[in-house]
Structure 1
Amino acid sequence: MLELRYINKAYAENRQVLCNLSFALKSGEYVAIMGESGVGKSTLLNLVAGLDKPDSGEVLIDGIEISRLDDEAVTLLRRKVFGFIFQAFHVLPHLTLSQNIALPLLLNHISDDRVNKILAEVGLQGRGDHFPRQLSGGELQRVAIARALVHRPKLVLADEPTGNLDPDTAHDVLQLMRDEIKRNGASGILVTHSHAAAATADRVLILTKQGLQPAEKVKSI
């Protein structure tokens, strides 16, 4: 599904963020990535999604090396293959819940209307005509999950998706996200600082200067 081969990425003043990083994600696998602030977790997600390019190395999605694609091809691949869930929700305030969730279907020219079905699956049945201002933070994140999954993406990328939620709501949202990813047969990468959040994944990896390592091999983060 996803393979990173010897990825290197540095920023201004030669600040090396990722060094010879290699990683593979199998179809259907849900992985949590943890690590200290500034170690490159969000950078890693941006490289996977084709929002940034590595200085060297390869990012392959189903065998396609995305850094060799032009901007239009990367955009089309991103629309079709990925689902994104962010800490800040990024729900459009001027659109109803149904309209927000339907955006990936419209962008991918998919006529299959799954909006009402997925609204029910995330516990918001009958609220499609409501606007984001009428929802709590937990409900907004449910909308974001529904929007990320409505077009049946192969890979879901979640960047601190419960950072703005209280613990009880975060627990419910994390369980919902995992259930929906598994139900859709998708793969998932969850970037988080939360051990409780990471525990919902199939396996946990820690990003350090030495690359990605299984959590049990890292004494502290």
Structure 2
Amino acid sequence: MLRLRDINKSYAGGRQVLAGVDYTLEAGEYVAVMGESGVGKSTLLNLIAGLDKPDSGEIRIDDVEMTRLDDDAATKLRREKFGFVFQAFHVLPHLTVMQNVALPLMLNRSGLERASQMLQAVGLHDRGDDYPRQLSGGEMQRVAIARALVHRPKLLLADEPTGNLDPDTAHEVLLLLRKEIKDNGAAGIIVTHSPAAAATADRVLVLTRDGLQPA
């Protein structure tokens, strides 16, 4: 499903963030990535998603090499196959909760019944007509999670998806993420500082200056 080969990335001033990262993620697998702050966990997700490009190396999604796609092709692939949960939510303020969750379906010209199902799954079935300004941070996080899952993505990328949630809600959301990945034969990567969140994954990897290593 996902193949990372010798991924290297440096930023301005020559500071190397990722060096020689290699990993293969198969369909149906769900992994957690942990590591110290600043080691490059979020950068790695952005590279996999094609939102940034590595200095060298290869990123393949199925048989497609992300590093060779132009912006339009990368956008189309993300729209069809990826689900994202960002730390900053990226919930659109001018759309209702239901419209935010349904956005991937509308972009992919799918039906909207699934959006209602996902709002139910994250405990927001009665907030569909509200706007983001009426939600708490934790509720916006749940909207972002529902939106990431609504179109049954083949690859889910989640950056600290439970950081704004209370422990009970976080546990329910993590189980939902795992269930959706397994039920849809997808693959998932969760970046987290939380051992409890990492424990819901099939395996835990630690990102260091030497690459991805088993925990």
TM range (shorter): over 0.9
Q: How far is the alpha carbon of 1:151 from its aligned partner?
A: 1.1
Q: TM-score, normalised by structure 1?
A: 0.90
What amino acid is aligned across from residue 91 of structure 1 in structure 2?
A: V
Alignment correspondent of 1:13:
13
- The Cα shift of 1:68 comes to 0.9
**Deviating more after overlay: 1-10 vs 13-22:** 13-22
Partner of residue 50, structure 1 = 50
CA shift for structure 1 position 186:
1.9
Q: What amino acid maps onto 1:26 in structure 2?
A: E
Are 1:159 and 2:159 counterparts? Answer: yes
- Give the Cα separation in 2 of the matches to 1:25 and 1:141: 26
Partner of 2:128: 128
RMSD: 1.6
Contact 1:101 1:146 in 2 (8 A): yes
Question: Does structure 1 retain, via aligned residues, the 8 Å contact 2:118–2:150?
Answer: yes
Structure 1 segment 138-217 matched on structure 2, within 5 A: 138-215=138-215
Hey, what does 1:219 align to over in structure 2? Answer: none
Cα separation, 1, equivalents of 2:170 and 2:87: 11
CA contact (8 A) 1:88 1:164 kept: no
TM-fit CA distance, 1:195: 1.0
Letter in 2 for 1:138: G
Distance (whole Å) between structure 2 residues aligned to residue 183 and residue 123 of structure 1: 20
Say if 1:164 and 1:206 are closer, same or farther in 2 by CA, change over 3 A: same
- Aligned to 1:54, what secondary structure does the other structure show? coil
Deviation at 1:7, TM superposition (A): 0.8
- Kept in 2: contact 1:138–1:170 (CA 8 A): no
Q: How many percent of aligned residue pairs carry the same amino acid?
A: 73
SS in 2 for 1:73: helix
| CA shift digits 1:141-179 (9 cap, x unpaired) | 222111111111100100011222333332232223222
Contact 2:178 2:200 (C-alpha < 8 Å) held by counterparts: yes
Residue 218 (structure 1) aligns with: none
Shift of 1:59: 0.2
**Superimposed CA distance per residue, residues 36-66 of structure 1 (whole angstroms, 9 cap, x where no aligned partner):** 1111111110110001111111000002111
> CA separation in 1, counterparts of 2:28 and 2:137?
28
Q: Secondary structure at the match of 1:89?
A: coil
Asked if the contact 2:5/2:59 (under 8 Å) is kept, the reply is: yes
Q: Secondary structure, in 3 states, of the residue corresponding to 2:76?
A: helix
Q: Is the CA contact 1:2–1:24 (under 8 Å) kept in the aligned structure 2?
A: yes
> Structure 1 residues 123 and 181 mapped into 2: Cα distance closer, same or farther (>3 Å)?
farther
Matched position secondary structure for 1:50: coil
Cα distance change on mapping 1:14 and 1:209 into 2, 3 Å? same
Deviates more, 1:184-193 or 1:37-46: 184-193
Distance in 2, matches of 1:167 and 1:118, equals 20
- The residue number in structure 2 matching 1:32 is 32
Shift of residue 112, structure 1, vs aligned partner: 5.7
- Give, as a single letter, the amino acid of the residue that structure 1 aligns with 2:5: R
1:9: Cα distance to partner?
0.9
Count of residue correspondences: 215
Distance 2:59 2:81 in 1: 14
Counterparts in 2 of 1:149 and 1:205: CA distance versus 1, 3 Å: same
Residue 8 of structure 1 contacts residue 20 of structure 1 at CA under 8 Å; is this kept in 2?
A: yes
Once the two structures are TM-superposed, the CA of residue 94 in structure 1 deviates from its matched residue by 2.5
